[in-house]
Amino acid sequence: MKKVNLMIFDFDGTLVSTGDDLVKSVNYTLNTLNLAERPKEKIIGFVGDGVSKLLERALGEENVKFHEEAMQIFTDYYGRHLLDNTVLYPHVEEVLRNFENKKKVILTNKHHHFTLMIVRGLKIENYFEEIVGVDSTPFRKPDGRVMDYLLKKHGTLRAETVMVGDGVNDILVAKNSGILSCGCLYGLGNKNDLLNLQADYYCNDLLEINSLFN
């Protein structure tokens, strides 16, 4: 097992299953704008780079003029419905309890206030030292500078830090900053894309990391 001192977790698709509420919020936004809905699989494929990119992709180039209005509609609707269907993935609390003596941080391209609302709603806030959203620092995944901020703040060596996530950006931010990476193959991210990036570790269930790190 590999010794780590700082564990950095992605959020959507890693700790929480948020897909259904994101899909419903995107399609509500498109409906409100009198635009055609998108299939669930398509919208899930748009997730990972924050709400602005999510809506840009869902609107398509031909409807980019609606982007600002779409942001307002989505933000209002999602803020009221982000816990309708969102739940923790299996074994999340078991894993967080197992690593209760390790520093743990959430690093997400989701907005901080949305993330905090879900974390509090699912009662996992006390497990984490910090929640870093897309609007928390000037940098976002996969920019390695967001990791420089975390490493300096929490006083941890790169060799003893791991990024755990289901998205391409999670593996890339780890590689860009010289820390360990663990790809979660059960989440929202494309499995083949994750495997092609050759992360240091992989798991098909978050519970598996209990036997990877100590």
Res 107: pLDDT: 98
How many Cα atoms occupy the beta-carbon half-sphere of 110 within 13 Å?
A: 28
Res 18: pLDDT: 97
Q: Where are the domains of the chain?
A: 6-17+86-211, 19-81
Q: Looking at domain 6-17+86-211, what is its CATH homologous superfamily?
A: HAD superfamily/HAD-like (3.40.50.1000)
For each of the chain's 214 residues, which pLDDT tens digit applies? Answer: 999 999 999 999 999 999 999 999 999 999 999 999 999 999 999 999 999 999 999 999 999 999 999 999 999 999 999 999 999 999 999 999 999 999 999 999 999 999 999 999 999 999 999 999 999 999 999 999 999 999 999 999 999 999 999 999 999 999 999 999 999 999 999 999 999 999 999 999 999 999 999 9
Please give the CATH number for the structural domain made up of 19-81.
1.10.150
What tokens appear for 2 in the block? 């590999």
Does 90 sit behind a cis peptide bond, omega within 30 degrees of 0 on the bond before it?
no
Res 205: pLDDT: 97
What's the pTM? 0.95
* Cβ-proximal residues to 128 (8 Å cutoff; 6+ apart), any chain: 104, 105, 106, 119
The span from the CA of 15 to the CA of 91, in Å, is: 9
Res 108: pLDDT: 97
